[in-house]
Structure 1
Amino acid sequence: MKRKNITVTVIISVAVFIIGTKNVNAYNGTKKIIPIELPELTVSEAIVIDDDTEDLLEEITGSECDFKSVTSKEDLPSFYSSDQAKNRDNVTPVRNQGITALCWNYAAIGAVESDLLSHHEELVADELNLSEKHGAFYNMHKAEKHGDGGIDNDYREFVFDEKDNFLSKYQTSYLSVGGVTNYSMSLFTAWKGPVKDRDNNSIHVIKGQNDFYIQNADVPSDAYEAECHVQNVLEIPASAKNRDVIKQMIIEHGSVTASVCADNQYWTGKKVALYDYKSYGNGNYADHEILIVGWNDEYPAKNFITKPSSDGAFICKNSWGMKNGASGYFYLSYEDTILNNNNVVAYNSVLPEDDGWYDNNYQYAGFITHITDPMEDRKNVVYMYDKNDAHYGITFIPESDEELSAIGYFSMSSCTNDKVYIYEVPKEYSVVPDVKMLAEAIGQSDEAANDGLLSGFSYIDTDKLGKPLTTINCKAITGGYHTFELNKTLDVKAGTEYLIVVCPGQKTKLIYEKAMDSTTGFHKDEWQHTLGAIHTVNTASGHSYLQDITGTAMVKQTDKDFFVKAYTKVQQKNSH
């Protein structure tokens, strides 16, 4: 959750491949394939959406997928609380995370619950309770049997010394993994939950440094059970210029998650009001996730332990139980340093009976964040390419005859205006050269080819694909993860390969999941229990592609996957 200075590693691909396009074993019909040069960034959590606009609202045209989330025909009131919205309560009761480190998932689950309540009158706040345990468990355990298996081999887990006889037995170290909203975004957009909080999906004990590990050892339900599908995760920086946009997001979705520093020095005595007044950085970083459910423009500045320059505060729901703060709530100054240097996040979810519920989710990148330390967020990182406008995407092969209804992808920028093209890929246009012959053709030894850049090299010849099957105009005001529906569903055939190409309308950072098999050193919790070492496995699926310099080929990525998803519905067979 805490940020430090960005470190940059530049990866330069200098090889030029002369590859036969008529026959994979013949090099007489040649095509130049020049891998693109993009600088890589390794960014400490929590990442912040790039937002260079002076006023987001002035950029709105009305055709954005999140238009309703950020605009209103009515003037914003000076006071608003989602638990009193139009005589309706859109906020579930205050929960208590106890001594777990799962504030990130308590906040995210609260946001999903508020969104569902805001759009489904049949739901009741006191009866809606989704599980924080389920997502936290699969954040640190392998999930299996997902559709075509696209992310089955992306997982992280705790591993132990053979002499450990405590947490290796109970497998509950995940309860002490602190984090950021990107954990929940990865889980929920993969359709790993949310599920109802009951039976094995409940956290039974929240106190006792031994008991809360031992008494919560029952394994939650299957990873891909879900009461709802999260289809959009809207993120914007919580800067002063975006305050009205944030307020509108709260009205539309019931709440937004936010980051704060919960150090005692910034609170009033009863934790009713919070204001971090110190400069950002140099040890002053976020360490807690909370839920903003409303605001009061006239909340007195004098009520904070250190007086901000003006009145006004957000109304926040915490996850420390009813005895904390004002029955579990507190005021957060508009000027809070941590708030203003991080994102706020709204979730948009659908139930099975809603429009926008899909049957299948073809996806190949499992996790945004690489976790290297469960206790210090700033040591956890996200991999991305620096700002560029290179085309990228995925291929997918339907398991049955289906209808392609929508696509989704992650954006690191606000105010995006992209195009997405979808192609059918005949087998002869997906070129897989013979590595040894290719190496000889360009003067490299086959040993170098097998060990280096040429190993596993293949590409799709976009010159030969012809016109796309369909084109989608993808516009969004917020950053984060968005789902875009096709204007008309597209029939896709079982066993046929399809290519989805995202063409950015501006230069933007491009997040990816880096392939790896790595293990950290051993970690301890605050009571010196050995949590284990974090073993991360991310397997490149072979479904992710990045354009070459010429723009006439999409090159298969053998060391990463992109966060692009394809949503389909099963075709209904005629009953007669």
Structure 2
Amino acid sequence: MERIKKLIVVILCVGMISSLNISFIYASQSNGYHPLNIKIESPDVPKTVTPKRNARSLDSYYSSSELGQVTSVKDQGNTELCWAFGITSMGETSLIKQGIASTNIDFSEKHFGYFMYNRKNDILNNTKGDKTKVSGDWRYAGGNSLLAMLSLTGWYGLAKENIAPFNTGKWRLSDSVGQKDSAILKNGFFLGDTPQAAVVKSYIIGYGSVVMAYHAPEETWEETAYYGKNHEAYNCNSARQTANHIVAIVGWDDSYSKDNFNSGSRPSRDGAWIVKNSWGNQEGSNGYTYISYEDKSLCEFVAGQFVKASEYKYNYFYDGSANPGILKLKKGQKFANVFTAKKGSAKKKELIKAVNLVTWSANVKYSIQIYRNPKDGRPTSGTKMLKRPVTGTIREAGTHTIDLSRKAEVLRGDKFAVVVKLRSSGKIGFDENDDYHWVSFVNKTKKGQSYLYDHRKWNDLNPDHATVRLKAYTVMQPVNKIHLRYCKADSKNKNPKGIVLYYKGKHLKKNKDYKIVKKEGHKYVIVKGRGRYRGTKKIYLKTK
């Protein structure tokens, strides 16, 4: 860790709440939120929803539930899995709003919660040993929305409810169902603790819901003080109360009367968020509660865009824990991960479709390039795979998937470096070993995998057991022609005229299946595919 501090400024914020003993108001009401105390800059109101550009930003009432975009209210029971219920609901609503799923969709909160704290190695075998650990029973360990969103980028959960039903009494899941996700997080938006109401509204309009944390009553006197009649209205007017529960905001009502709130905690003006809770239909108004805009405990607003898991096939990454580490970088600094392609074949090519990265500040400008077969310790020394770097500006903190305008093919065994250069100062995510008291993180990144450039040279992060949060998403595409790289060369090739190539025992014919395009004396030749064969292959000659 000391070595990283010499390279960049490291910001690590540690959650201060470690107690797992929460007094419940009644059996079906439980909390479970742990704050991280990370200060996140809220984004500006999007131009597309300012009053001059879109009248919907002035709507006094909006409800995703009434639009048929919200699934049924669930009950977390006496667990502390509110974070899993809130984000799972957000994922369901996101898919419904995009027309990808119907209101019958139902993701497993148990699956999400279990594999957050019990994950195993990923399918590509790049994160063996990485962990997010809590002591005791994971059901009562609590959680955090930011950590959950980081975990989702590793494609553990959202699986269908029938894979891990909640109310079966079985709380240990098979490793084999870990990555049987039906949906994945494409973009997560960290909106900060105090975003403008118009910002929250814009993300609800755009994605269907926003998850937030607030202080739910833990004692009888709090329940009496902060709830209105029938638990339908709620306002915590004490700044001393910290958030302890996570819910999904699915709408708002600017005209919701302040008189509906308890006289002892009545807000100064009308207006409230329409909140879907996870305490069953008996709570509030059929499971929904109106929380005042003026509630002093509201914090950690998070939104997300989810897509079908089939949109991408494979996920190359080294950040297997959910550590919310932050690196503060200057303009011009670079970071990179070097991967080895594992899934290409003769009849299916593997294409890099997108890059995912995490930012902890707003308005970060970036440039992305991918290099094939870089030299050890020098991620930018390989062949550029993108004709032009992909550039852009990320307007909010969060986890972002950037689709490439042109997919880059990698062959099995190729090394490829994903390199990001910052075109502005900014804070990016990284993963390392750390202990936050109530949760700890383990990272096992190896030598030659993750790098940071300090304006002078590339520095391998392996000595610090760290990695930048940078991923590559690939897809598979059938091809009619077999790439020569998947053909074998005879070990006895001694001269260009007599070289022999095979594919599954079949002898390739010169000038029909391939032709020689370059000779380097008696050292090697480069051949190019013809007919049903494609690509090029370098063949070294076996001379005395």
Q: Which residue of 2 aligns with 1:327?
A: 286
State the TM-score, normalizing by the size of structure 1. 0.71
Pairs within 5 Å for 1:5-84: 11=2, 36-44=7-15, 45-46=35-36, 48=38, 50-51=40-41, 55-57=44-46, 74-84=56-66
Shift, 1:84, TM fit:
1.8
Rounded Cα–Cα distance in structure 2 between residues aligned with 1:316 and 1:268: 15
In structure 2, the partner of 1:312 is: 271
CA distance in 1, matches of 2:175, 2:254: 42
Answering whether residue 315 of structure 2 is matched by residue 384 of structure 1, we say: no
- Which of 153, 165, 172 is the aligned partner of 1:202? 165
Q: Is the 8 A contact 1:12 1:38 kept in 2?
A: no
The equivalent position to 1:151 in structure 2, one of 114, 122, 127, is: 127
Identity, % of aligned positions: 25
Asked if residue 119 in structure 1 is aligned to residue 98 in structure 2, the reply is yes
Q: Cα distance 1:466–1:201, how it changes in 2: closer, same or farther (>3 A)?
A: closer
Preserved CA contact (<8 Å) 2:57 2:198: no
Q: Specify the alignment match of 1:344 in structure 2.
A: 301
Instruction: Say if 2:247 and 2:276, in contact at 8 Å, map to a contact too.
Output: yes
The residue that corresponds to 2:228 in the other structure is 268
* CA shift for structure 1 position 483: 0.4
How many angstroms does 1:319 deviate by?
Answer: 0.2
SS in 2 for 1:239: coil
1:103 maps to what in 2? 82
> Contact 2:191 / 2:303 at 8 angstroms: preserved in 1?
no
Partner of 1:460: 378
Whichever residue aligns with residue 190 of structure 2, its letter is E
Q: 1:553–1:275: structure 2 CA closer, same or farther, 3 Å change rule?
A: same
- Residues 396 and 497 of structure 1 are in contact (CA less than 8 Å); yes or no, is this contact kept in structure 2? yes
Query: For 1:242-261, what aligned pairs fall within 5 Å after superposition?
Result: 243-261=197-215
Which of 125, 141, 163 pairs up with 2:118? 141
Aligned equivalents of 2:87, 2:379: Cα separation in 1: 42
Aligned with residue 181 of structure 2, among 226, 229, 238: 226
Measure how far apart 1:50 and its partner are: 3.0
Check whether the contact 1:546–1:557 (CA below 8 A) recurs between aligned residues: no
CA distance in 2, matches of 1:40, 1:235: 17
Name the aligned partner's letter for residue 481 of structure 1.
Answer: T
1:359 aligns with 2:313: yes
Q: Is residue 312–residue 475 contact of structure 2 (8 Å, CA) maintained in 1?
A: yes
Task: Output the CA distance in 2 between the equivalents of 1:259 and 1:158.
Answer: 21
Instruction: List aligned pairs for 1:414-493, cutoff 5 A.
Output: 414-426=362-374, 429-430=375-376, 459-460=377-378, 462=380, 464-465=381-382, 469=386, 470-493=388-411
CA deviation after TM superposition for structure 1 residue 238, in Å: 5.1
Give the letter for the 1:80 counterpart: Y
After superposition, residues 156-175 of structure 1 pair within 5 angstroms as 156-157=132-133, 173-175=137-139
CA distance in 1, matches of 2:191, 2:441: 29
SS across alignment from 2:259: helix
Aligned twin of 2:474: 568
SS at match of 1:545: strand
Equivalent residue number for residue 287 of structure 1: 244
Within the candidate set 434, 450, 462, 1:557 is matched to 462
Listed one character per residue, the Cα deviations across residues 312-349 of structure 1 (whole Å, up to 9, x for unaligned) are: 1110000000111111000111122222xx33222212
Change beyond 3 A, Cα 1:537–1:549: same
The match for 2:238 is: 278
Separation in 1 of the partners of 2:38 and 2:45? 16
State the 1:12 CA deviation: 6.1
Query: Is structure 2 residue 353 aligned with structure 1 residue 405?
Result: yes
Q: Is 1:187 the equivalent of 2:144?
A: no
Higher-RCO chain (CA-CA 8 Å, sequence separation at least 6): 1
Aligned-residue offset at 1:506: 2.8
Shift of 1:295: 0.4
**Distance (whole Å) between structure 2 residues aligned to residue 182 and residue 238 of structure 1:** 12
Distance in structure 2 (CA, Å) of the matches to 1:218 and 1:488: 39
- Name the amino acid aligned to 1:180: N
User: Are the aligned partners of 1:133 and 1:201 in contact in 2 as well (CA < 8 Å)?
Assistant: yes
User: 2: CA distance between counterparts of 1:480 and 1:346?
Assistant: 9
Verify: 1:92 aligned to 2:71, yes or no. yes
Structure 1 pair 565–217 and aligned structure 2 pair: CA distance change class (3 A): closer
CA distance in 1, matches of 2:254, 2:87: 25
Instruction: Supply the distance in 1 between the matched residues of 2:329 and 2:236 (Cα, whole angstroms).
Output: 31
Contact 1:56 1:415 in 2 (8 A): no
**Contact 1:409–1:563, Cα closer than 8 Å, also in 2:** yes
- Matching residue within 176, 194, 197 for 1:239: 194
Q: 2 CA distance for matches of 1:487 and 1:223?
A: 31
Distance in 2 of aligned mates of 1:508 and 1:219: 40
The alpha carbon displacement at 1:72 in A equals 5.1
Larger CA Rg, structure 1 vs 2: 2
Decide which of 450, 453, 471 is 1:547's aligned counterpart. Answer: 453
Q: Structure 1 residue 468: deviation in Å?
A: 6.3
Compared with structure 1, are the counterparts of its residues 151 and 76 closer, same or farther at alpha carbon in structure 2 (3 Å cutoff)?
Answer: farther
- Segments of structure 1 that go 5 or more residues without pairing to the other structure are 1-9, 15-34, 61-66, 160-166, 168-172, 206-211, 370-381, 431-458, 524-533
Counterparts in 2 of 1:309 and 1:503: CA distance versus 1, 3 Å:
farther
- Unaligned stretches of 5+ in structure 2? 16-34, 218-222, 345-349, 482-531, 533-544
Is the 2:433–2:441 Cα contact (8 Å) retained in structure 1?
no
Contact 2:373 2:383 in 1 (8 A): no
Q: Tell me the alpha carbon deviations over residues 104-141 of structure 1, each in whole angstroms, 9 at most, x when there is no partner.
A: 000000000001111126x332x221100001111221
- Once the two structures are superposed, residues 440-493 of structure 1 have per-residue CA deviations (whole angstroms, 9 ceiling, x without a partner) of xxxxxxxxxxxxxxxxxxx3174x457563411132222211100111111122
Structure 2: distance between partners of 1:461 and 1:142:
29
| 1:299 has 2:221 as partner | no
Q: Secondary structure at the match of 1:565?
A: strand
2:46 counterpart letter in structure 1: L
Q: Which residue of 2 aligns with 1:515?
A: 433
SS in 1 for 2:97: helix
Give the count of matched residue pairs: 444
Check conservation: 1:388, 1:507, Cα contact below 8 A. yes
Change (3 A) 1:299 1:387: farther
Please give the alpha-carbon distance, in whole angstroms, between the structure 2 residues aligned to 1:535 and 1:310: 42
For residue 272 of structure 1, report the CA deviation from its aligned partner. Answer: 1.3
Q: Distance in 1 between matches of 2:270 and 2:211?
A: 22
Distance in 1 of aligned mates of 2:432 and 2:408: 31
What is the CA-CA distance between 1:150 and the residue it aligns to? Answer: 1.5
CA distance in 2, matches of 1:298, 1:229: 36
TM-fit CA distance, 1:407: 0.2
